[in-house]
Amino acid sequence: MTNLDEPLRKVLGDKTAKVLSKGLDLHTVGDLLHHYPRRYAHRGELTPLNELADGEHVTVMAEVVKVQGRTLSRSPGYVLEITVTDGTGELKLSFFGRRGSYIPERDLSPGTRGLFAGKISTYRPRSGRPQRQLAHPQYKVVAARDADAAAREWADEIIPIYPTTKGLDIDAIGKSVATVLDLADLGDDPMPEVLRKRLGMISLADAYEGIHRPKDWEQLGRARKRLKWDEAFVLQIALAQRRRAAAALPARPRPSTGDGILHAFDQRLPFDLTEGQLQVGAEIAADLAKSHPMHRLLQGDVGAGKTMVALRAMLQVVDNGGQAALLAPTEVLAQQHYRSITKMLGELGQAGQIGGAEAATRVTLVTGAQGAKVRRASLLEAASGDAGIVVGTHALLEDHVQFADLGLVVVDEQHRFGVEQRDALREKVSGGRPHVLVMTATPIPRTVAMTVFGDLETSVLGQLPAGRSTISTHVVPPEKPAFLARTWERIREEAGKGRQVYIVCPRIGEKEGDEGDVPAPDEEGRRSPLGIMELLPMLEGELLAGLRIGVLHGKLHPDEKDAVMRRFTVGELDVLLATTVIEVGVDVPNATGMVIMDADRFGVSQLHQLRGRVGRGTLPGLCLLVTDAEPGSKARERLDAVASTTDGFALSRLDLEQRREGDVLGAAQAGRASSLRLLTLQRDEDVIRLAREEATALVEDDPELERHPGLAAELASLLDEERTEYLEKT
């Protein structure tokens, strides 16, 4: 017997172990047992030889009537041809290789009866009519007396199809799995016996047997059910322990005072908050009043009023003597937030200034592009506590940026920041942790996964504020060239009405080799995506001649970017030609149209964010997705989905379906390594929720898993050093 940590070289030999390690990243007995088949095949019903069709996978029972080998002029040099019959017709079995190298030559002599399975093909000899054949078929010799029973058993056998690698085919991997399966000592079952019996689950040993060597489909189903549960349950144990530890972390409570700046702000609002904003605001206010850190996701479709909710939370903290930091991913967005918050607060944001209210705070901006004098003043306001609200970019994360009493961190568009970056802000609090509020319109797949797993409290704003307009989205496809011509007409029409339009390209394209945001050509060999500097001459020369066009991209100096945005904001430009630098936060109520060129080169979340720049006033918004993606392609399906809904969570689930959730316990994002093998969020939410309930109860009863050694061992193998460090930071 061997344990799960045993290196494969000690069980399978150096040669096989080396191939498994290099090709499939499998190093131990446990790794190989978790290398589950990607699908299963079975040979199916017996097919009479006179009913065979090209391309079909068939199983036939027949008798060998002729065995003949012949030399080939081309590699591999020799073919063994065996003719079989079942009385209805004849079929050739072809085995290519070296003379004398085939077991079939010994097994399948004339008069032998056997079962043969493979894919039917037709070949035409140099002389004679076309003939049906099976190349390298699977076969089983059967005795005449038990032929019928053997045929049924062999045809019904379930065949595991494993992910393979160069140097090891499916059969070799299957034999390796069978070897370790027979030798493995699984130790204590990680699932508590009482729970296993209550849920009607099979043992772990039976589950491994059923997933790798199922005798029937029912056994396979029971095995998959148990192993899916283990993935969900062990993961939920880790998250339950983490929630328990987080609840023990100190955070200064920031309860609502009922008066102060927040009360004055609410009294001066020229509109009523939506029911959604009031409900979500109450959830956040309750979290801020607790003595352990809030960790909440605020999800709301573009234009739902997330910034208003976040500002009210920040004011609640300021009323309690604390500070709030708003972390934005770009200079443009940081400046936009600074201006909009300053405008919304009015005299309530002018503490110590002429015209400031008696009860007021101060708002300051910290970015990397500020001049030395302005930056020093901003840093002093943050460090002294004079600024209750500090808005900034990644510059806020630098070591020399200090706060007097940081009570709340608001992260706008969390997918633009890594865990390390978000953690850096929280470390600026001594003797505790700040509360954290994360805002997004379309959560990345991993965030959706964390909400499903229950590791992230979620508030959803689904109601647009009064006066906000709807956005209609349409695909401009390659099969309808007239639609593209109409696109430029629509831009002219909007400009003729005094309205403004964004045109977005995937890259800058200002010189050869400059690919901007999107690499090109892509992996499918398509042309390079369009750059704004390539499109600009066409717009100015013919398509939109006479319109006032501005250009905005990430390589412009911050002062230039700010100047262009100001001109567009005050209506001095009809069209803003830009990259994704305008993806979040840009707020121009008069902008009613957006054209996204090569829209299939953007992700679902990006498209949803981009179109959120229009329809921000009382006028309806229009978004046109220009693409050369063909109907039926995955790219086209994505665009059609974006055009069909404005529900950010629905689009995130589409993203999740196409890219997977990444590693819920590690830093990997969607499409990369996952600790999940069988469990999927799309199909197994009920399993995940039940596992959370059971795991939470077990951890409350036995926090350190002292009475559950098998579960503790399984958890230790799941949480390597990197994942443990990641959990501590998140």
583-598 residue pLDDT tens: 655 678 899 999 999 9
Q: Where are the beta strands (DSSP E) in 2-89?
A: 2-3, 39-42, 57-71, 78-85
Please provide the DSSP assignment of 586-610 as one string.
---TTEEEEEETTGGGS-HHHHHHH
Please provide the DSSP assignment of 221-283 as one string.
HHHHHHHHHHHHHHHHHHHHHHHHHHHHS--------SSHHHHHHHHH-SSPPPHHHHHHHHH
Mean pLDDT along residues 662-691: 62
The closest of 157, 151, 158, 149 to 60, measured between CA atoms, is 151
Is residue 522 classed as helix, strand or coil in its secondary structure? Answer: coil
Mean pLDDT along residues 203-225: 93
Query: pLDDT-derived band of residue 467, with 50, 70 and 90 as boundaries?
Result: low
d(CA 356, CA 362): 10
Q: Are strands 471-476 and 39-42 parallel, antiparallel or unpaired?
A: unpaired
Is residue 86 classed as helix, strand or coil in its secondary structure? Answer: coil
Looking at the predicted structure, is the pLDDT value of residue 668 above 60? no
pLDDT tens-digit profile of 245-267? 877 888 899 999 888 999 999 99
Looking at the predicted structure, is the pLDDT value of residue 55 above 70? yes
d(CA 442, CA 300): 8
d(CA 446, CA 106): 56
Looking at the predicted structure, is the pLDDT value of residue 514 above 50? no
> 356 φ, ψ to 5°?
-75, 150
392 contacts 324 by C-beta, under 8 angstroms: no
User: What pLDDT score does 573 carry?
Assistant: 94
The closest of 600, 488, 504 to 541, measured between CA atoms, is 488
Least confident residue range of 155-169, 351-365, 568-582: 155-169
d(CA 425, CA 433): 10
Cα angle, residue 223 at apex, residues 217 and 224 outer, rounded to 5°? 90
Please provide the DSSP assignment of 632-701 as one string.
TSHHHHHHHHHHH---HHHHHHHHHHHH----TTSS--TTS--S-SS--TTT-HHHHHHHHHHHHHHHHH
Q: Which residues contact 494 (CB under 8 A, 6 or more apart)?
A: 500, 501, 592, 593, 622
User: What pLDDT score does 42 carry?
Assistant: 67
The closest of 664, 709, 688, 716 to 30, measured between CA atoms, is 716
Task: Report how far apart, in Å, the C-alpha atoms of 616 and of each of 23, 301, 505 are.
Answer: 52, 12, 21
CA 540 to chain centre: 39
pLDDT tens-digit profile of 326-337? 998 888 788 888
Mean pLDDT along residues 286-305: 84
d(CA 109, CA 389): 88
d(CA 614, CA 608): 11
- Say which residue, 356 or 510, is predicted with more confidence: 356
361 contacts 261 by C-beta, under 8 angstroms: yes
Query: pLDDT-derived band of residue 368, with 50, 70 and 90 as boundaries?
Result: confident
Least confident residue range of 45-49, 337-341, 509-513: 509-513
287 contacts 434 by C-beta, under 8 angstroms: no
Query: pLDDT-derived band of residue 513, with 50, 70 and 90 as boundaries?
Result: very low
Query: pLDDT-derived band of residue 655, with 50, 70 and 90 as boundaries?
Result: low
Q: Are strands 57-71 and 113-123 parallel, antiparallel or unpaired?
A: antiparallel
Residue 154 host element (H or E): helix 147-156
57 contacts 118 by C-beta, under 8 angstroms: yes
Alpha-carbon torsion angle 201, 205, 208, 211, nearest 10: -50
Cα radius of gyration rounded to whole Å, the chain: 33
d(CA 236, CA 239): 5
Least confident residue range of 121-125, 276-280, 385-389, 544-548: 121-125
Least confident residue range of 335-344, 419-428, 539-548, 592-601: 419-428
550 contacts 582 by C-beta, under 8 angstroms: no
The first and second tokens of residue 699, run together, are 């951890």
d(CA 174, CA 663): 27
Write down the pTM of the prediction.
0.64
pLDDT tens-digit profile of 65-88? 999 888 877 766 788 889 999 888
User: What pLDDT score does 406 carry?
Assistant: 93
User: What pLDDT score does 261 carry?
Assistant: 95
Q: Are strands 500-504 and 549-552 parallel, antiparallel or unpaired?
A: unpaired
Task: Report how far apart, in Å, the C-alpha atoms of 146 and of each of 3, 43, 153, 374 are.
Answer: 40, 19, 11, 92
Query: pLDDT-derived band of residue 3, with 50, 70 and 90 as boundaries?
Result: confident
The secondary structure of residue 51, as a DSSP letter, is: G
353 contacts 381 by C-beta, under 8 angstroms: no
Cα angle, residue 414 at apex, residues 409 and 415 outer, rounded to 5°? 160
User: What pLDDT score does 638 carry?
Assistant: 85
User: What pLDDT score does 476 carry?
Assistant: 94
- Say which residue, 448 or 220, is predicted with more confidence: 220
Looking at the predicted structure, is the pLDDT value of residue 517 above 50? no
Q: Which residues contact 163 (CB under 8 A, 6 or more apart)?
A: 24, 35, 38
d(CA 207, CA 221): 9
The closest of 7, 10, 11, 1 to 26, measured between CA atoms, is 7
Residue 247: count of CB within 10 angstroms of its CB: 11
The closest of 2, 4, 196 to 718, measured between CA atoms, is 4
The secondary structure of residue 346, as a DSSP letter, is: G
Query: pLDDT-derived band of residue 101, with 50, 70 and 90 as boundaries?
Result: low
User: What pLDDT score does 315 carry?
Assistant: 97
Looking at the predicted structure, is the pLDDT value of residue 728 above 70? no
Task: Please state, for a pLDDT cut of 90, what percent of the chain lies above it.
Answer: 35
382 contacts 402 by C-beta, under 8 angstroms: yes
Mean pLDDT along residues 31-46: 79
Summarize the chain as % helix, strand, coil (round to 5): 40, 20, 40
The closest of 579, 495, 592 to 544, measured between CA atoms, is 495
**Total residues found in the chain within this entry:** 730
Mean pLDDT along residues 626-635: 88
User: What pLDDT score does 386 carry?
Assistant: 93
Query: pLDDT-derived band of residue 46, with 50, 70 and 90 as boundaries?
Result: low
323 contacts 385 by C-beta, under 8 angstroms: yes
User: What pLDDT score does 454 carry?
Assistant: 54
Looking at the predicted structure, is the pLDDT value of residue 559 above 90? no
Query: pLDDT-derived band of residue 623, with 50, 70 and 90 as boundaries?
Result: very high
d(CA 473, CA 613): 13
Please provide the DSSP assignment of 412-430 as one string.
ESGGGS-HHHHHHHHTTST
Looking at the predicted structure, is the pLDDT value of residue 162 above 60? yes
274 contacts 465 by C-beta, under 8 angstroms: yes
Residue 440 host element (H or E): strand 435-440
Over the range 562-579, which residues count as b (16 or more CB within 10 Å of their CB) and which as e? bebbeebbeeebbbbbbb
d(CA 252, CA 237): 28
Q: Which residues contact 597 (CB under 8 A, 6 or more apart)?
A: 503, 504, 505, 506, 529, 530, 535, 626
